[in-house]
Chain A
Amino acid sequence: MLRKQKDEFERNNQEYQLPSKQESFTGGVSDNEKTVIGEHISIDGTVRAKEDLIIQGSLKGAMELDKHHITIGHKGKVEADIQAENITISGTLNGNVTVHGKVEITKEANFTGTIKAKSIAIEDGAYIKASIEMQREEDKKPKPVAKRPIDAVVIAQETTKAVSENKVPVGQ
């Protein structure tokens, strides 16, 4: 009797733990922590996250996961501008994607928008209307800070003031 109760408890516990594993549609996501937006969840707004994200539901807005992987599962419907490290698209996505690494588009995907990425993999049969731009090394380099024009104005004003007060001889 006790053994039967123990077996039942273990079975229930296993059933409870299964959904959190989500190993079947990780799309290259491995040991990192990840959040799943299930197919019955709908989000309207901006999602910022510091862990990998799998979307099977619908999302409208923006997604910012600069150092993490986004997977849009085959049931996912997303209308958003996305920034991430890598992205795998298997569902419907309408938006602009900027990633530091790789974009993977599977044959189940329906993608409309723009992509800026370092590399791209598209499975034959993917439904796409997109523009693709390569993320080049020079795009990542910080642009040199321009001299603030305000400084020049201040110097010019001070010089003008000094000249008008005869502190600086004209032509010197």
Chain B
Amino acid sequence: MATLTEQNERIHTVIHNANIYSSRMMRSYISWLSKRRNACILDLGPVCDDTVNFFLPHVKKIFLYDVFLRLSRHQDTHTVLQNLDYKPNSFDAIHLWDLINHLESNNTSLLLKVCYSLLKPGGSVIITAYDEFKNRIPLNSFAVNKNYQVVLRPQHHLDLPYFHRNNRDISLIMSQFNLCNSYVYKCGVREFYFRRD
């Protein structure tokens, strides 16, 4: 009979494995990104060095602006988004991860308006979301490694509200972009790959 410690270790292993998935979207996205010459991408956080090091060989520059951390430090959402003061049409892609699940509807609209102007025509937007009752606590960063595996890395220092959005909500929010692909994984993560006209 297994001891309590052994049982706990097993539970921990199961939870740990539930926080890893092999991303089909990343394969498709990297394939597209590698064809863009001197690509510049913007990552809105949570900033994760594994992800930065994963993308660096495929792009010219990665711009990092951690919206999660700024909002978590009680900065005003409008101010945080206004500080995305890059030139219009600057980026080939923007990584939103699960940011739209932590913003109220009006702020989500503002964010996407800013993203649309910052993206080059034909640029991509990466979004992730969780199924309703899985993985939303604690807030995670998305650490991508060389095998396109994504590890959900808990960010205990971040504290933001959570607004669950189903597939229809996300389609409506992203109505000015075209949905290229979406994926659902057993661990409860949904991935959406949008592109600007």
Contacts and interface: CB of A to CB of B under 8 A. Distances in A.
Interface of A: 107, 119-134
Given A122-B47, A134-B56, A134-B57, A127 B69 contact: yes
Interface in B31-75: 40, 46-49, 52-53, 56-57, 60-66, 69-70
B56 A132 contact: yes
B48 A131 contact: no
B167 interface: no
Contacts of A125: 69, 155, 157
Given A120-B52, A122-B49, A128 B61 contact: no
B64 A128 contact: yes
Interface of B is mostly: mixed
Interface residues on B, range: 20 to 34
Nearest to B63: A131
Given A125-B69, A127-B66, A128-B66, A133 B49 contact: no
Given A131-B40, A131-B61, 7 more contacts: A120-B56, A122-B47, A124-B46, A126-B47, A127-B66, A127-B69, A133-B61
Interface of A is mostly: strand
Q: Which of B47, B57, B141, B157 has the most CB of A within 10 A?
A: B47
Interface in B139-163: 141, 153, 155, 157
- By Cβ-Cβ distance, the 7 closest A-B pairs, closest first, are A122-B49, A134-B56, A131-B63, A125-B157, A132-B62, A133-B61, A131-B61
Contacts of B64: 128-132
B5 to A, nearest CB: 28
A70 B192 CA distance: 41
A144 to B, nearest CB: 22
Interface in B151-197: 153, 155, 157
A122 B52 contact: yes
